[in-house]
A and B are shown apart, each in its own frame.
Chain A
Amino acid sequence: QVQLVESGGGLVKPGGSLRLSCAASGFTFSDYYMYWIRQAPGKGLEWVSYISISSGYTDYANSVKGRFTISRDNAKNSLYLQMNSLRPEDTAVYYCARSLRKYRDDGFDIWGQGTMVTVSS
């Protein structure tokens, strides 16, 4: 079935780095825009980043711009988020998600279960 599975979360000190991965299955990964969305403990949802089908377009929330880098490998059906210069306020569950419709930047219809990132000394 259609599935997204995140990995790579964990505990990291302020200023440290982490790389999140998202493995996709059950659909043609290369046909869909992909996203990262996060949710701080007990808080609401915040869009973090998006990447187009062929990686030609990416963008970031202002809160992570210049520190996070999104990428994808269509041959491996995988999405990544490289997170550098981490801050305590980056502590959150990070979800990867798929666009609702093929070939377009759209709402998110499939979400992974999320991976927890904790930034603390």
Chain B
Amino acid sequence: DIVMTQTPLSLSVTPGQPASISCKSSQSLLHSDGKTYLYWYLQKPGQPPQLLMYEVSNRLSGVPDRFSGSGSGTDFTLKISRVEAEDVGVYYCMQSIKLPLYTFGQGTKLEIK
């Protein structure tokens, strides 16, 4: 199985400041079709997860442009350029290269200072 490792596991950020979450996979997520199947989700308190980014850096419609994704191979990063209060929750990365088995990272809890 592909293991997804996120760091840090928790993050406390002042509003308006940037935040960055790392996600490393135990195998390359680059598919033979040339795409990299890495997703980012945010689970706000008391809610189901919501998809933020797909294929590393594609924002889902409606996701603010302060969110950006980058990386390749086994190393990926989600960045928030200016954190807002509504960004609190747990962020998960997920891989789907080795279908049908999807695996998630452990989650990174973002809180506001």
Contact = CB atoms under 8 A, between A and B. Distances in A.
A35 B60 CA distance: 19
A100 B106 contact: no
A45 B104 contact: yes
Nearest to B50: A111
Contacts of B102: 35, 47
Contacts of B92: 44-45
Contacts of B37: 107
Contacts, number: 50
A24 B54 CA distance: 23
B39 A107 contact: yes
A59 interface: yes
Interface residues of B, number: 23
Contacts of B43: 45
A119 to B, nearest CB: 21
A107 B52 CA distance: 11
B100 A105 contact: yes
B79 to A, nearest CB: 19
A111 B48 contact: yes
Nearest to A49: B100
Contacts of A35: 102
Contacts of B101: 47, 59, 61
Interface of A: 35, 44-47, 50, 57, 59, 61, 95, 100, 105-109, 111-114
14 contacts: A44-B92, A44-B105, A44-B107, A45-B41, A45-B43, A45-B92, A45-B104, A59-B100, A95-B49, A107-B94, A109-B54, A112-B48, A113-B47, A113-B48
Ranked nearest first, the 3 interchain pairs of A and B with the lowest CB-CB distance are: A111-B48, A59-B100, A47-B102
